[in-house]
Structure 1
């Protein structure tokens, strides 16, 4: 359990590295989505940490990171800057960024703001914008959080995140409990700016290799949205999981992590002549 002061706040992070001790591994940064914490990456870490130094961090106000004080500016730029300051603190020059949902959006911002600090992007369940049905849903949520607990709010629309008929009920219950530990005010603050986000222009300026992991049954990221992002990010690779809901990083965690591993390792492999 590690934490460091970033802009006057304690920021929680974990580092796992099971690479060969005589080698100097590259670094991976895993960044979670709204209401989550570093704990959701439990099945990605064993896959990636055998080959990389894997850094996980709790977003501001999530998990074990300090909540913001009044006047804090919630934005993708602010959160990307805090990630950069964490890398500075740990003397990590460049990372392969793996982000899911909000964590992917922050990664897109990071790749634009600090292009020299990023080696690749893996975007899981990441929208470039929020379509009308998703916007309508998200804009209802802050009011709902005034009426019920975070865990109850999350559970009532678990079907947006999981296939509630097929996915492991114990996993879904654990996940709801984890989200329920997040302060409602933090979730409300993020939900007030998130529906208006549109990063298509930022996607068009990305200059690093990018892997897009798309859940085929996500309200927030439709097949058309995934294709638009794929076309916007030059040279990107798109992998789809047709039957997966938005939380594909959980339900197909090992498969997603293996996909990221193959992708990042291919970048350092010499290309053979055809």
Structure 2
């Protein structure tokens, strides 16, 4: 009996801390599909689950749903906020075929998510990759996106930024402790800007998992395989996608971003949805939307028509 009790205690300790009822959000899964079969996408949900007004927050390439904790806590006063872990990241399943880690797969997963929650229309905040997913949906399913926030991403993606990101995606080492993991997070993400120690620790703790005595990044290293498959020799141009978007759009750019150029933002204000543009000083790729002033920019744009 003592041995059985000990084994049960080990499994209890392995339960994610995020399942604690004291936390202000809920975590649940939805089923999605790829060419290789079914996979599970995990979501963090904030606010009233019966609120018909829904906000989707989609993260960047190697990040996860918990990046939006600060923003979601504020916006949950007005929205049902759902922050998915894009497949291969966070608590979601990993894909069998690593070359399925592409924007069309992510967009299809998100459309299934919207069907799952029976949402006819949502507002969308997307950081980097999350913004590309939002652009794809807004261009192909225009009725699904009410308002669109593109955080440091647009229709021109610079080759130099992709090459920079490709140097570290899927190549993170194992860490002996959380301090080593935080040092790595700071080293590969200087573009996040001058964050507090609390913010860096939050971004680290929510992005690693302890397994077999070491800490590892909470994403599939195979993402790097797809990312480096055909490295671009020129900037990626998707103006054809952006130009057909009609949802009211806000583009946020980090002053020192190497992924979204200032001239691209200027053109975004004249083409397609004629986005409203805001630049965040002292930040590169990408603003974390954790600072109160950055949160206020998103909040004011989404609520400016007085619907909430």
Same fold (TM over 0.5): yes
Tell me whether 1:31 sits opposite 2:61 in the alignment: no
Call closer, same or farther: CA 1:257–1:26 in 2, change over 3 Å.
same
Q: Tell me, yes or no, if the aligned pair for 1:104 and 1:126 is still in contact at 8 Å.
A: yes
**What 5-or-longer segments of structure 2 have no aligned partner?**
1-26, 176-180, 209-216
**Post-superposition CA distance 1:156-210 (Å, at most 9, x none):** 4332x234xx432453354345162222112442454685643221111101100
Structure 1 residues 135 and 30, CA gap change in structure 2 (3 angstroms): closer
Q: Aligned pair 1:2/2:34, yes or no?
A: no
Q: Please say if 1:225 is aligned against 2:264.
A: yes
Task: Please list the CA deviations of residues 242-268 of structure 1 after superposition, one character each: whole Å capped at 9, or x if unmatched.
Answer: 22222312453x333322222222245
In angstroms, what is the RMSD of aligned CA positions? 2.7
| Alignment TM-score, normalising by the size of structure 2 | 0.75
Instruction: Kindly indicate which of the two structures has a greater share of residues assigned to helix.
Output: 1
Query: Could you report, residue by residue, the CA deviation over 1:192-247 in whole angstroms, capped at 9, with x for unpaired residues?
Result: 46856432211111011001111111121222222233332333211111222223
User: What are the within-5 Å matches in structure 2 for residues 113-152 of structure 1?
Assistant: 113-141=140-168, 145=171, 148=173
Summarize the Cα distance change of 1:52–1:40 in structure 2 as closer, same or farther, 3 Å threshold.
same
Displacement of 1:131 in angstroms is 2.0
**Structure 1: which 5+ residue stretches go unaligned?**
270-274
| Correspondence for 2:284 | 245
Contact map agreement 1:138 1:191 (CA 8 A) in 2? no
Question: Is this contact kept in 2: 1:63–1:182, CA < 8 A?
Answer: yes
The residue correspondences of 1:43-58 to structure 2 (distance < 5 A) are 43-58=70-85
Q: Which residue of 1 aligns with 2:203?
A: 175
Match of 1:199 among 235, 238, 241: 238
SS of match in other structure, 2:149: strand
**What TM-score, normalized by structure 1, do the two folds share?**
0.83
Q: Determine whether 1:17 maps to 2:54.
A: no
